[in-house]
Amino acid sequence: MTTHTANDTLRLRRLGWAGVEVRLGDTRVLIDPLENVEPLEPVLGKPKRPLPPVEASAGTHTLITHLHPDHYDRELITRLAAYGTVGCHAPLAPALAEDGVEATPQELGRPRRIGPLTVTPVASLDWRGTDSDQVAWVVEGAGARIIHCGDTMWHGNWWQIARDHGPFDVAFLPVNGVIAKFEGYEVDVPVTLTPEQAVEAAAALGATAACAIHYELFDNPPTYVEQPAIAERFARAAAKRGLTAHLSGDGETVPLTTGPRQEAGVAETTA
């Protein structure tokens, strides 16, 4: 049984790469957790540091933004699925089933209860187009609301997301602005948000704070090339916009300061 008291607060922690942990009471939601990097090395190169292990325990649920192997760690997700639900955008459920993962599918904008938390997939944009479905996840509880944006590039849905689901206390945004040249995708256009674009996305979303994810772990020229001076540029852009910038390291807590907020009504299943 999930326990949750009125005095509980939402707790946030950045995991490795794009991974984020959200806790409320006994309920724990992991978004895009990653442990196994060896399959990534032929394209992304060797990681600059080892990733912290991801604990699997009762009350742990998982959300997947998309199926690129740096966001969908099949081995890890299979292990975590024994402890709680695995949430995905509905079109991804068949592929997960083929991998032996029984996922809980959700349509865009459709909320679901996981204990005291509410999770909702919203629009995102992948650089590979329609052959690579991707979503962002809105997670809310205890009067706080965050959004995890996967490894999106710039798109025009920020304002609609803000109108439908915002404002946000923290927006977790990719910042490495990577130039990728593989699999027939070879253009000099960043395929994830640059540091400055990430801050502008946070501003459009109505976020109070922006936390940088998806950076300074892989850099493998000429196939996968990150932006230079990411942390400095992100902090500078956030200061210019009047936003709080979080550059939390692997496994570090992400501060959350929020006042009371009324949670949206939910008409979905309870985990």
Residue 271: its pLDDT value, please? 47
Residue 257: its pLDDT value, please? 73
φ and ψ at residue 204, rounded to 5 degrees:
-65, -35
CB 10 within 8 A of CB 144: yes
In the chain, the domains with their CATH numbers are 11-247 (3.60.15.10)
Q: How far apart are CA 21 and CA 114, in angstroms?
A: 14
Closest of 88, 84, 111 to residue 27, by C-alpha: 84
Residue 264: its pLDDT value, please? 40
Amino acid making up residue 46: K
Q: How far apart are CA 114 and CA 5, in angstroms?
A: 15
CB 71 within 8 A of CB 148: no
Residue 191: its pLDDT value, please? 92
pLDDT tens digits for range 121-174 = 999 998 777 657 999 999 999 999 999 999 999 999 999 999 999 999 999 999
Q: What integer best gives the mean pLDDT of the chain?
A: 90
Chain Cα centroid distance, residue 81: 18
Residue 6: its pLDDT value, please? 52
What is the pTM for the complete model shown?
0.92
3-class DSSP assignment, residue 182: strand
Q: How far apart are CA 242 and CA 236, in angstroms?
A: 10
DSSP string computed for 191-210: SS--HHHHHHHHHHHTEEEE
Residue 187: its pLDDT value, please? 84
Dihedral-angle region of residue 152 (phi above 0 means left; psi in -120 to 50 means alpha; beta otherwise): beta
Low-confidence ranges of the chain (pLDDT < 50): 1-2, 259-271
3-class DSSP assignment, residue 99: coil
Residue 230: its pLDDT value, please? 97
Token pair listed for 124: 């995102």
